[in-house]
Structure 1
Amino acid sequence: MIEKSVQRRRQRRQVVLGLGVLAGLIQQAYAQEAAAPAPDAPAQVAPAVQADVNVVKVTGYRASLLSSAKDKKEAIGFQDTISAEDIGKFPDKNIAESLSRVPGVQIARDVTGEGTNIQIRGLGSSFTKILLNNAQIAVASSGPIDGANTNREVDLDLLPTDLFTKLTVSKSPTADLIEGGAAGVVNMRSARPFDNPGTHVSYGVTAQKQQIADGVGGRGSLVASKTWGDTFGILAGFTVNRQKSRTTGYETVGLTNPNLTAAQSASPTRNSTGGGNWTIPATVPAGAGAGLVAGTPIDQAFLLSHNPGLTIDQIDNALLPRLGRFMDYFGTRDKGSAILSAEWRPLANLHFYVDTLYSKKDDDMQRIAYTWAVRNGASIPLNMQVDNTNCTIGCTVTSGTYSNASYFIEFGPRRDRTDLKGINPGMEWKITPTLKLDAQANATKSTFSHEAPTVMPITAAGSGLVATFNNNGGGVPSITFNQDVNDPANFVWAGGRVNIQNELRETSTKGFHTDLTWGDSKLSLKAGLAYDDIDRRIRGQDNSAAWQAAVCGNNPSVFLQGPNGAPACDGASTPGASAAALYPGYGTGYTAGQTAPLVYQGSLIPLNKLSTYLVPGPNGRVVVDWDRFRKDSNYDAYNSTAPDSTSSSTGASSGYVREKTTGFYTEINGETTLGSFPVRYNAGVRYVRTKQDVGSLNSFSDPRNATLTQNGSKYPNQTEWVYQDTTYNNTLPSATAAITLRKDVVARVALSKSMTRANPNSLRPGINFSGTSADVGTIGSPELKPYLSNNIDLGIDWYTGREGYVSLTVFQKKVKGFTVIDNLTMPFSALAAYGITYNNLIPTQQVAINSRGGPDVATVVMSQERNAGGILTVRGLEIGWVQPLDKLLPIRGFGFSETATLINQSASGEGTNGFVALNVPKKSNNFGFYYENHGYMARISHQYQQGSQSANANQSGVTLAALYGRSYKQADFSSSVDLEEVLGRDNWPTITFDIVNLNKAKREGYFQFPNAAFSSYDPGRTFQLGLRGKF
């Protein structure tokens, strides 16, 4: 291990040395070109013709690189920028994808391949603060299709690149930056009229075709601005985007193993690895298939004889997909954004501005899954093979045949709507040459709605269905069946279901910031006040039980919500038959006084008609005829009356958080010398007070049900919003210095303390005490403290000429505030503070409490998160290199860019045993090779993120099973031809052609073992052909 570590360090030094040598050669070439005459030598005046030959016109993409290099060199702290041309020169679909080219920034992608949010320097996306025009922003969306966004993530896929002029990533905080980004702060600057004085119109239209999707989409943009002298200007712009999208994939929702009985395993370590989501029947059921005889005992001898070569421990611990689910996700994704900005300068020293933004997204998709169901099933393994003779900690099934199998279709239309509105007025007043006042107000509001019904018909039990599974070496497995699973006649309702589960979200922000600066570039003092108010509410809705009773439960004339029972979903249709047995207590308790007759009206989608709603779909697979099913099942009525629920189908829990923060800061900026070296510096401190209000929707049994035992008489569970507030203060110092070692070499050092507030989902003051034994539960943690990070940054930049530079930065973050779960033993009576009392327990819980001495004596064990005392240390190296190659190649216009980030993390102290920060790749890089000259531009880029752990252990109840993402590599190609320059025609457009995901990269993950596939999503390539221009 020591030798390998030493070897890796040597390799890193060799890489850095090699970069330095090559950059030095290039820099010398530019230096020779630009060298001034010696002091004693007479200046030589070059002929005009020769001067023309030596002039290199830098425009377009290279001009943007030059602007970014200039901004980087002039910055005191560690920051990177992407300017307008850079943003617009790539096939980026949104801001997140543009930011992925910054060193230290990693991007999270949806299953469609589109970037959604970012993280900086090895900490999750919730540790990055996102600003819009220097003000905080919140977007209500729930993130990727397999996410929930219950933390502090900000989805950036709503924001198009066309309407922004600069993106700035600050990795070393200063006192004047809004707090909340322990990892870093990203500021997105929208376009303003005086960015380009005069009258201008720019436009763009692009056709886009995803290779595996049906149809062609497109996007367009138009931005117009006009200024009147240097006094007033206005800018308006909009973008529209319609994407015909499709992604195919494989999902498991975890892997599992069988829960063997004592008769099936005599091993002393039976079921020792956890899991057990699948039960092998005690005897062969009728219609199991594969030639098995009904009634045959399935004991240890049976399992060993039908799985030759395996031990009972291998059969017991081998992992199989909980769901072998092949997914098809397709439809239309629409986006639209508009900005309106005005600037007014009534005096030379007074500047007013206002920025407004409106964005909207509407995803109208269908998600269809074809699933072999292992979890909660009763499959019988035959001829199973595994990958390891030692399955003590688990192993992976490589192949096998499974009789008594079941298969279902999960058809789910999905409609997600998001909008965002924002306004940002402000002013700059230079009161005197050395005194300046800045003031700004801001407000945003965002809403999100998620509608995701599910229709799930299933194959009949005892139908003789047999599944054959092949692991395919850990890739997407092969799962085949002995029957035609695309035959509508093979599906029934019994064991299936329908769901109505929605989610609604609202977020809002408002704030006011003001700064007063005195001094000049040599020395200035700056102080400021900030007030920010941000809130979010998540509401789940669920009307599944009522809809299911009508669709396939014989449609009783009266339906009562739980804890009253519900009819079985079997597609029965007996109109007029009595339903009295369903609710024997009807007319008493909750339904006292109701005398309407209880009858069945017949399932709206009866079993004998179910097959007529299953029609051929994509690739010959059967799908639900949704338009007809929706109408005949009365879906819209049930959806519009869905009651509130404590959770939703995204996995998010209903909750509320509001944070009102008041901040004050002061800082000093200046210039000095250290020896003979010029030094620019910044030092300051920020104090912030946070008032936090958090809420949770809690559900508990109605106490009146204590004496009501019959269905039909019970009162529905009660729901109540519970709120709790807390207040805390933080002081955040920072100091940064930039030392000019030579005119082309700048070294930087920064020391700082930054913060990110706790996960709002963990702060919810909710309680879960639903177990029938009334002995365990969970409690929210509204008093969790924020994460605090002590940061050190050291770096050196070498500017090699024009847009070229080499940048090396090492950083360290020591973060505390991570949480652990404590199991707290407390008196049952202490739960009254959370609304749980003896009287509102269900009868079985009351019996359990009485058996332990009654409500005044019994104790319970409640799990609760708390801040651990340990520290997470993140150390890393960032490399940035942008280099034109005009002096090395015979053809001008070539160049390359490279960013690389190496990260190592470790944890120490109390509560950190086994702790790891999730979704942190140890290595990531972005390499691009470009050509731009004479109106032609071409660039190929390659992004890489090494695989990393994505979820903690104990997944699906398997003790040692964590989730991991595989390494991701994506190549993109972009090109353009500027017809104005090539053909010498004024105002002619530029033709663009791009290919996204040139190498058809897939987003994949695995479960505990690399050959145990957890998920795989394949969006394929996307081609784009467009025109853009300006006049």
Structure 2
Amino acid sequence: MTSEKLQRLGASRRRHRPIVIACHMTVAMCGATAAQAQQATQSLETVVVTGIRKSLETTTNLKRTATGLVDGIVAEDIGKFPDTNLAESMQRIAGVSIDRNASGEGSRVTVRGVGPEFNMVLLNGRQMPTSAGGTRAFDFANLSSDAVSALEVYKTARASSPTGGIGATINVKTARPLDQRETLASVGVKMNYDESIGRLPSEIAGSKTTPEVSGIYSTALANNTIGIAISGNYSKRNSGSNNAFTGNGWETTAWNKPGSAWAKSSPDGSWIGPIDGLKNYPTSGYVTHTNDVRYRVTDLERERINGQAVLQFAPSKDLKFTLDHTLAINTTKSKAIENSAWFGPSFSGALGSSPPSTFVTTGQVSDPIIQTATWDGTHDYAMYAAQFANKTKLNSTGLNAAWKVSEALNIDFDAHSSKSRTRPDSPYGSGNIIDLALFNQGNTTMYYDQKFPVMESKTLAYNSGKTTVTGSQFENNIADQDVDQVQLSGTYRLNAADKLLAGLGFTKLKNRSAGSNNFHGDWGGIGPQGSFKDVPVAQYSLPGFFNRIPGHDDPRQFQTFFVPDFNALRAQAVKNAQSYRPTSLGDGAPLSAAEAEAYFSPYTDFSHGNDWRTTEKSTSIYGQWDHAFDTEMPMNVSVGLRYERTKVDSTSQVTSYTGTVWYAENEVKLTGDTTTFGTKTGKYSYVLPSIDWDMDVTDKLKVRASYGVNIGRPAFSNMLGGIQLNANSGRYNINGSGSTGDPALKPLKSKNLDLSAEYYYTKSSYVAAGLFYKKVTDFFSTKVVQATFAGLNQPASGTYYDAARASGIPADSPKLLRNYILKNYNGQPGVKITDASDPTFLKGDILGSVPGTKPLVFDISTPSNGDGDNIKGVELNFSHVFGTTGFGVSGNYTYVKSGLEFNNNAATTDVQTGLVGISNSANLVGFFENDQWSVRAAYNWRGGFLAARDDNGNNPRYTEAYGQVDASIGYKIGKNLTLQADLLNLNDGYIRQHGRSKNEIISAIQTGRRYLVGARYRF
């Protein structure tokens, strides 16, 4: 065997699982010191390469020697991680896309089209809890990047990895002092300036400028036998978010369905035809409409505290103990003002000066591109003021022992206990809303021919004498998640070419999501109109809040945005309730001072809401054999098998009801609530094989192939026992809603095949191409089952309702129908007027117990396992450094295709299996560095994708394609001080979402540019 073969074989035999794997292009964004050549005066002259060149050389070499397909990000220096948070860093990796939160900041990741629910996130190899209610998706916005040394993204299945990441397993690695083996200390300060605050009304806007401070200290003592590391970060950010949207989605019905918004029906409810005067009304397929339009401006405040302490002890070179604790506190508060027009099922044809509702057909779905609602000038236009405040606290304590028993055997023991808690951070609960209604809205027309939803109202104007509070909601929600995990693994080297790996793991996960909702629909008002005239209501230009969204300046758009004061509004509402009994409480005396205060406050317990508790216990065992082949072209193969067994216990508190009441124009609610607990169990087990193969075709060209099976566990919200009915989901002529879960749901099962080729033409440059294929089965879908419940009847039916319809009142006039029943049957069983001051708009209750009522039908959404399909795609990567010029460029493109698509031409009652999150993505980064300057510019693009399945999973919400331009400039002063400027969202983009077609605007949201200026000093 030639010496060259021996060297290459030796290199292949020395391959280990990577400690830190870095992506070729994200390292280019670290703001590192310049690449430079230095001559050391030694016995042998040596060229030492530092900075970004050194990082690229190291990380590309690690990528080459990895088993399976692994990408990631490395911090070139502790405290110098790229981007502003971990999620935004990961979007630079091929195949990784991010979901942005309301402030425009990256929070969750999608990998190769697989959404956040199905990516397993680890912290130093440990499963982390996330107290986000019913979801498994980890929110990276909770973690600062300052103490993070690397992110590893394993895209292929491995026997040694915990299950759950069918998209990827993402390991967040933090600093370890005995790995550094030297004393490191640095302090950084930043100042954040957010332009989006300037697009908010001054009544809710926070400060545009906010601080961030971070520091880390790491040292090795006693001849490298004791290591201590302490890191901390404090950051505060205010940002603005402006959203034009529909709060209730788009309803899709058959074009000739009796009782639909567009139907002209006979008194018995049969189909006669469309409302007269509609334009381009279809003759087949489906017809859609929305119930409302909303314009919301929000100030968001995020305050984050992160800290980590690590203590290491190595009594010998063969034994090392690591004890660590991680703390993350993330406090979010927001103030929101929303103006909205509720249309309900009231739409028109020709109206003289108002244009008729006009349809545009896409496929088999017809949308109203113009949608006119008829009102008599006394309809309510809502102005809500809201506050939200939550605090999430993560505590994780872990112990690791690494023991080199002999030259052949290594044993690793790891255990941790981690807890995440989310609690309200306000005396008013986790979220609260008060609606102030203006009762002078006339005919209103919506135009959906722009990117922006345009609302035209020619008569609407502010009149304090026409205002009253109509609705309020005070939520008290909590979420807990605990993870206790023990892992034992070992590696035994049989010989130079063979190695065995084995492991055993136990995980106990407890999830609780509980909440109460003090909701009151006082649509008739708390007190007469004008009783809130002393509440301050500022007025602004509505189009001015949405200046980045095309169509905001449409001359048809209603121009005024009303801003009521929340505290004044609540105080007046409490005062009014002591003079006028709230209409939702029915007849009776006004409230006492204590009762009124409690009426506009959150419940202090959860007996009025949901309490969902799930315990998931998993046991795993795995084995793996690694072998290096002594062949002309060196090859390596790893064959593994993992067995996973899981048991699920789900206990859920649900609310049952005994009656119904039609208490306002379009509102039907459930009454007589009582709570009960129910328990369901489930279990499953899987044998999961994996195999990885790679070959060095030449010293520059490597090819790989991997096959593995993995599972993605159901969300906790899908595993609940009992049926939970939505007490406020009832509407006139519309079914109620509810949901139930199933802890016996099977996980998603994904069979994955990966092929790739990588050409490394210099130490810092390469090109790569990969193909991936995932066969997904047991996909989670939602089926809707219609059900009725004893005692819950539809008040808008029966003898009195039939008499009102027979009098000639059309089905789409609930106000007139109620007036008829209240006027003609007041005092009869189940009918009672509570306010007769306006004979044209009588207020009162019509119970579901009136004679002849029919059962209220509920659409109960139920999760189920359906058929599967495939996800396939291509990943292209490149990275190139232009010699010693300091210039470099890198980029990637990922194409993803799946048969798991939403069928836009199906009825809303059809079971859908569209996979959320699948999208193409691309990145392009250019950089320049010399001894002092570090400059980079990055463009990230994500194609359109299915963001959610709304309305029991059977209506789509698509996010349209969008891109973002970021840049950074670093300047080094001396050896220790670096000045840095980060410029984010330079293109000042917006994100738009739509329904089955682009005409169906669901949301158009804009934020703004953000600038960070700071300095870091390394001691």
TM over 0.5: yes
* Cα drift, residue 809 of structure 1: 1.1
Contact 2:256 2:273 in 1 (8 A): no
Q: Are 2:872 and 1:866 aligned?
A: no
The within-5 A match list for 1:52-91 is 57-59=49-51, 61-85=52-76
Partner Cα distance (2:735, 2:1009) in 1: 53
Contact 1:314 1:390 in 2 (8 A): no
Contact 2:324 2:399 in 1 (8 A): yes
Q: Are 2:888 and 1:926 aligned?
A: no
Residue aligned with 1:610, SS: coil
Q: Which of 455, 471, 491 lines up with 2:467 in the alignment? A: 491
Match of 2:261 in 1: 276
Contact 1:111 1:1003 in 2 (8 A): no
Q: Are 2:769 and 1:808 aligned?
A: yes
Match of 1:571 in 2: 526
Match of 1:43 in 2: none
**For residue 173 of structure 1, what is the amino acid of its counterpart?**
A
Change (3 A) 1:58 1:914: farther
* Cα drift, residue 151 of structure 1: 3.0
Q: Which of 509, 515, 529 lines up with 1:534 in the alignment? A: 509
Match of 1:904 in 2: 897
Contact 1:93 1:157 in 2 (8 A): no
Change (3 A) 1:280 1:943: farther
Q: Are 2:465 and 1:465 aligned?
A: no
Match of 1:375 in 2: 344
Change (3 A) 1:277 1:644: farther
Match of 2:972 in 1: 978
The within-5 A match list for 1:256-655 is 256=250, 270-271=256-257, 276=261, 303-304=276-277, 310=279, 321-375=290-344, 382-384=354-356, 386=358, 388=360, 393-398=365-370, 403-404=375-376, 406-450=380-424, 451-460=430-439, 463=440, 465-471=442-448, 473-483=449-459, 485-493=461-469, 496-519=470-493, 522-545=497-520, 569-572=524-527, 608-616=530-538, 621-630=561-570, 633=574, 639=601, 641-644=603-606, 654-655=611-612
* Cα drift, residue 475 of structure 1: 0.6
Higher strand share: 2
* Cα drift, residue 681 of structure 1: 2.2
* Cα drift, residue 820 of structure 1: 4.5
* Cα drift, residue 1029 of structure 1: 2.2
Match of 1:766 in 2: 722
Q: Are 2:934 and 1:937 aligned?
A: yes
Q: Bigger CA drift: 752-761 or 91-100?
A: 91-100
Residue aligned with 2:88, SS: helix
Contact 1:976 1:991 in 2 (8 A): yes
Q: Which of 778, 784, 792 lines up with 1:817 in the alignment? A: 778
Paired positions, count: 843
Change (3 A) 1:718 1:826: closer
Higher helix share: 1
Match of 2:834 in 1: none
Match of 1:698 in 2: 654
Residue aligned with 1:972, SS: strand
RMSD: 4.2
Contact 2:396 2:418 in 1 (8 A): yes
Change (3 A) 1:967 1:233: same
* Cα drift, residue 57 of structure 1: 3.9
Contact 1:467 1:481 in 2 (8 A): yes
**For residue 247 of structure 2, what is the amino acid of its counterpart?**
V
* Cα drift, residue 1008 of structure 1: 1.9
* Cα drift, residue 680 of structure 1: 2.2
Q: TM-score, normalised by structure 1?
A: 0.74
Change (3 A) 1:410 1:827: closer
* Cα drift, residue 152 of structure 1: 1.8
Change (3 A) 1:185 1:485: farther
Q: Which of 170, 179, 192 lines up with 2:176 in the alignment? A: 192
* Cα drift, residue 701 of structure 1: 3.8
Partner Cα distance (1:390, 1:789) in 2: 34
Partner Cα distance (2:211, 2:859) in 1: 57
**For residue 611 of structure 1, what is the amino acid of its counterpart?**
K
Change (3 A) 1:47 1:191: closer
Match of 1:719 in 2: 675
Partner Cα distance (2:646, 2:252) in 1: 49
**For residue 452 of structure 2, what is the amino acid of its counterpart?**
V
Match of 1:662 in 2: 619
Partner Cα distance (1:876, 1:531) in 2: 34
Partner Cα distance (2:850, 2:410) in 1: 69
The within-5 A match list for 1:786-801 is 786-801=747-762
Partner Cα distance (1:676, 1:810) in 2: 26
Partner Cα distance (1:897, 1:804) in 2: 9
The within-5 A match list for 1:97-136 is 97-136=88-127
Q: TM-score, normalised by structure 2?
A: 0.75
Contact 2:942 2:963 in 1 (8 A): yes
Match of 1:855 in 2: none
* Cα drift, residue 408 of structure 1: 0.8
**For residue 621 of structure 2, what is the amino acid of its counterpart?**
F
Residue aligned with 1:799, SS: strand
Match of 2:664 in 1: none
* Cα drift, residue 346 of structure 1: 0.8
* Cα drift, residue 66 of structure 1: 3.2
Contact 2:299 2:334 in 1 (8 A): yes
Q: Which runs of 5+ in 2 are unaligned?
A: 1-24, 26-38, 198-206, 425-429, 542-559, 575-595, 662-669, 791-845
* Cα drift, residue 923 of structure 1: 1.8
Partner Cα distance (1:300, 1:863) in 2: 31
* Cα drift, residue 654 of structure 1: 4.3
Partner Cα distance (1:232, 1:399) in 2: 72
* Cα drift, residue 758 of structure 1: 2.0
* Cα drift, residue 442 of structure 1: 0.9
Contact 1:87 1:98 in 2 (8 A): no
* Cα drift, residue 935 of structure 1: 2.0
Match of 2:153 in 1: 169
Over residues 179-217 of structure 1, what are the superposed CA-to-partner deviations in whole Å (9 max), with x where a residue is unaligned? Answer: 111221000011121232222211211111111214201
Partner Cα distance (2:288, 2:246) in 1: 11
Change (3 A) 1:95 1:281: farther
Over residues 848-877 of structure 1, what are the superposed CA-to-partner deviations in whole Å (9 max), with x where a residue is unaligned? Answer: 99x99xxxxxx9998744322x22111111
Match of 2:633 in 1: 677
Residue aligned with 2:59, SS: helix
Task: Report percent identity of matched pairs.
Answer: 21
Contact 2:981 2:1012 in 1 (8 A): yes
Match of 1:999 in 2: 987
Over residues 395-440 of structure 1, what are the superposed CA-to-partner deviations in whole Å (9 max), with x where a residue is unaligned? Answer: 3324768544541112111112111110111010101111111000
Match of 1:292 in 2: none
Contact 1:758 1:784 in 2 (8 A): yes
Match of 2:163 in 1: 179
**For residue 409 of structure 1, what is the amino acid of its counterpart?**
M
Change (3 A) 1:505 1:346: same
